[in-house]
Amino acid sequence: MKTKYKMSILTGVLLSSVCASVISMPSGAQDLKNFKASFAEKGIAKMDRLDQSELQKSCSDYAKKPMPAKMKAKLEKAELDAVKLPADGNYLGDWKEGEKIAQNGRGLQFSDDIKTVNGGNCYACHQISKTEIAFGNIGPSLAEYGKLRGGPTPEIVKYTWSKLYSSHAYNACSVMPRYGAGGILNEQQLKDVMALLLDPKSPINQ
């Protein structure tokens, strides 16, 4: 009973980690069966989280060797083509709400309720605000993101939206969460994070 309980906890922690969007899976049928047998669903963390897309399978296959350039380009194009732009054409929301989303690491964990509002947990991997003392370094610093790129130009706005929507559109095996494509953040939340990164009034661009 203790073992099963511990495994359920591990399932929630591993499968809901927003920074681990690509998991290297066993390739053999029996190995994969044994791997899946090591997990148990709990709460909102279901076993379907172990099912990989074509892109994830490809990244697992090439986890220890370079992926062919044509395959990489094909996978990235498919992700970019699937990006959904804002329905109303407006990309920037409220940077203050964007900061709250960046700070929030809740959502999609086995201990969360299905009604839990997901956060972006951006500070787990990036420095964003210069005043924040706790942040990860898996990803690059995003401090002065908009300022360093000349403000919210049409090109930068579209690139940033697409990167947030599906990071795989620019790096097939990126470990950054697919916030839009993965259903982690809704359209308004994406707009608010966009504002945090690009709004000239946002404190990170001062």
- Give the CATH number of the domain where residue 130 resides: 1.10.760.10
**133, part of any domain:** yes
Instruction: Please say whether the beta carbons of 179 and 162 come within 8 A.
Output: no
**112, part of any domain:** yes
Which amino acid is present at 110? F
pLDDT band at 188 (very low <50, low <70, confident <90, very high): very high
Percentage of residues of the chain with pLDDT beyond 90: 70
pLDDT for 127-161, tens place per residue? 998 888 999 999 999 999 999 999 999 999 999 99
pLDDT for 5-60, tens place per residue? 344 433 343 334 444 444 556 656 777 788 788 888 999 888 888 888 999 999 99
CA distance 46 to 73: 31
**50, part of any domain:** no
Residue range 173-179: mean pLDDT, rounded: 96
**157, part of any domain:** yes
**140, part of any domain:** yes
**73, part of any domain:** no
Query: What's the whole-model pTM score?
Result: 0.83
* Mean pLDDT value across the chain: 87
Tokens of 81: 């083509």
**52, part of any domain:** no
Which domain, by its residues, includes 157? 95-205
Phi, psi at 16, each rounded to 5°: -100, 0
Q: In three state form, how does the secondary structure of 158-186 look?
A: HHHHHHHHCHHHCCCCCCCCCCCCCCCCC
**1, part of any domain:** no
77-116 as b/e: b if 16+ CB within 10 A: eebeeebeeeeeeebbbebebbbbbbbbeebbbbebeeee
CB neighbour class for 150 (10 Å; exposed up to 12, middle 13-18, buried from 19): exposed
Q: Domains in the chain: how many in total?
A: 1
